[in-house]
Structure 1
Amino acid sequence: MKKEAKLPIGMFDSGVGGLTVLKALRERMPCEDVVYLGDTARLPYGTKSPQTVTRYGVQCGAELIRRGIKLLVVACNTASAVALDALREAYPDVPVIGVVDPGARAACAASRNRAIAVIATESTIARGAYQRAIHAIDPQTRIIGHPCPLFVALAEEGWTDGQVPEAVAARYLDPVFKPASGTGHPDVPDTLVLGCTHFPLLAPAIRNVVPAGTTIVDSAATTAETVHQQLQELQLARPENGCGATRYLTTDDAARFARTGSRFLGTPIAEHDVELVDL
């Protein structure tokens, strides 16, 4: 069935991290309506089994499909790594876009020495999603995957700059970018993928501890560009006039979603604009 351009885009994440994708999408496509679902009652997805993440993802997809969306964005790296095939099988009439493939393409395009570092949750790194996506584009690229679980907590608490996040960033990233042979070693990555939607909030702290000249790839921005291209190809993009509306859904504690989400989105979210849903 042909979808209509006036229908909204649906997005989900395990929590508020996916709002960084929404922010990038809003900057790229300000006229589009969006329905965003944060499954905060069951976060984090990064520590769950693949079977559980897939079940949660399909349930989130069902709630958004029920609201009549034209395209589904999986604004969660863990769910993108695990549940995309299941979502596409469950909802074949709706295009489904994850955040892993766009980030992988941007990283390959940016890297000059074909050495790329990926930081993400433990689950995303363990599943090898970025490794597979990057090697599908360029099998000769050297990839270092490094889990950085504390970044999620720091972003959630708003500790995104200053000594604490920089110290944590250095602890995680010094072994990747400053091996014993020195920062000039040819195996040192020249590109870093932020493989979790929480991590863009920590980009300034990360930038301060990686070598100068390192390209930082934000999967939020690259995903927004992919969504725009897909809507154009499918002739589902809304006309470039007016300002799109956003509806917020959460599975737990609307007040906390509004408070924390405002920080991720960069603009205030009112508690009364957040709808509590039961999946």
Structure 2
Amino acid sequence: MIDTPPTAAPHIVIFDSGVGGLSILQAARQQLPHGRFSYLSDNGGFPYGNKPAHHVIDRACRVLESFAAEVDDVDVYVIACNTASTLALPRLRRHFTRPVVGVVPAIKPAAELSRNKYIGLLATPGTVKRSYTKRLIEEFASDCHVVSVGSSALVELAERKLRQEYISPEQLQPILAPLITLSSSNPTPARLDTLVLACTHFPLLADEIAQALSPRVQLVDSGLAIARRIAYWTERIQPLASLPTQPTYAWFTRADSSTESLSDTLALFGFDEIRLLHIPTP
């Protein structure tokens, strides 16, 4: 019997401005149980959703370029942030030779799932307004009525939940009210049967969102689709690392008490150590 030499596990970096990308990490780990994952949070630049486009592009690129200078064996970069994906992907793909996977709001699968052709889009204010999102709706949901709701508060609630704070469905009700209340943009609320969670933070609050809405409303996010895309690339590239097992970390761009409060949650996601990434000033 000939022993097959061990192969290096692909090193996948999940990047977000906060901790919303942990929802993508969770889906990716299920798809790739033998993958090697690092997490990179630009908490020093959080949040991205209310920042000007040029700021997001420059910031995301500087953070990822700094990370690549520090960690040189990355096989796949995952931009687990809808805001950064819709703005910075072209520049990042020009810069990196390794695959860069972005997150796209799950408008197409939501439109296919909806029986009533009446769907909700829950995103950050910037994503709701962005022309990229409007093009997705025109291309994949032109036969649907789409009720769009932008919220930065929901991002903050997701961050607080991962820091062990209790979040009740009642706290979400004012945010979700436009989805269930009669208005000019929502003329028949009872018909809404599918909701797109178009920010990676929002699946972290899926239970609370589901409790605040009617049980007939299906929640749709990008996690599984992105996990499959990561798997697609890991099957087609040769991992850069020479060893099958190496430590991975959760990286942050700012050290503070809020970061330390994530230690228990990060341990549940497989990270035992937090590291600080220095970002040079522009």
> What TM bracket, shorter-length normalisation?
0.7 to 0.9
Give runs of aligned pairs for residues 175-186 of structure 1, distance below 5 A. 175-179=178-182, 185=188
Counterpart amino acid of 1:18? G
Partner residue, 1:65: 68
What is the CA deviation profile of residues 138-174 of structure 1, one whole-angstrom value per residue up to 9, with x for unaligned ones?
4333322201221122222228997x64223222223
Could you tell me which runs of 5 or more consecutive residues in structure 1 were left unpaired when the two chains were aligned. none
Q: C-alpha separation between the residues in 1 aligned to 2:177 and 2:267?
A: 29
Name the residue aligned to 1:83: 88
Equivalent position SS for 1:41: coil
What secondary structure does 1:213 align onto? coil
Q: In structure 2, how many angstroms separate the alpha carbons of the residues matched to 1:228 and 1:47? A: 31
Cα deviation digits, residues 115-136 of structure 1 (max 9, x gap): 2211121112121443322432
* Equivalent position of 2:3 in the other structure: none
Maintained 8 Å contact 1:46/1:78? yes
Matched residue of 2:259: which SS? helix
Distance 1:128 1:168 in 2: 30
- Determine which of 146, 154, 157 is the counterpart of 1:151: 154
Partner in structure 2 of residue 127 of structure 1: 130
Corresponding residue for residue 46 of structure 1: 49
Q: Tell me what 1:246 maps to.
A: 248
1:275 alignment counterpart: 275
Indicate the residue corresponding to 1:96 in structure 2. Answer: 100
SS at match of 1:278: coil
Tell me, in whole angstroms, the C-alpha distance in 2 between the residues paired with 1:235 and 1:268: 24
Provide, for residues 21-62 of structure 1, a one-character-per-residue CA deviation record: whole Å limited to 9, x for no partner. 112211221111122211111111112110000001111221
Q: How many equivalent pairs are there?
A: 266
**Which of 257, 260, 266 is the equivalent residue of 2:259?**
257
Shift of 1:85: 1.6
Decide which moves more: 37-46 or 133-142: 133-142
Report what 2:214 is aligned to.
Answer: 211
Inter-CA distance 43–141: structure 2 relative to 1 (3 Å threshold): same
Task: Indicate conservation of the 8 Å contact 2:118/2:193, yes or no.
Answer: yes
Q: Which structure 2 segments of 5+ residues have no match?
A: 1-6
- Residue 227 of structure 1 corresponds to which residue in structure 2? 230
- Asked if the contact 1:46–1:124 (Cα under 8 Å) also holds between the matched residues in 2, the reply is yes
CA distance in 2 between counterparts of 1:243 and 1:108 reads: 41
Deviation at 1:223, TM superposition (A): 1.8
The alignment partner of 1:12 has SS state of: strand
Query: Contact 1:121–1:148 at 8 Å: present in 2 too?
Result: yes
Larger radius of gyration: 2
* Deviation digits for residues 53-93 of structure 1 (CA, Å, limit 9, x no counterpart): 000111122134332322211011111121112212222x2
More helix by share: 1
- 8 A Cα contact 2:60 2:88, kept in partner: yes
Farther-moved stretch of structure 1 (134-143 vs 188-197): 134-143
Conservation of the 8 A alpha-carbon contact between 1:119 and 1:147: yes
Instruction: Compute the TM-score of the two structures, normalised by the length of structure 1.
Output: 0.81
1:204 Cα deviation from its structure 2 partner:
1.4
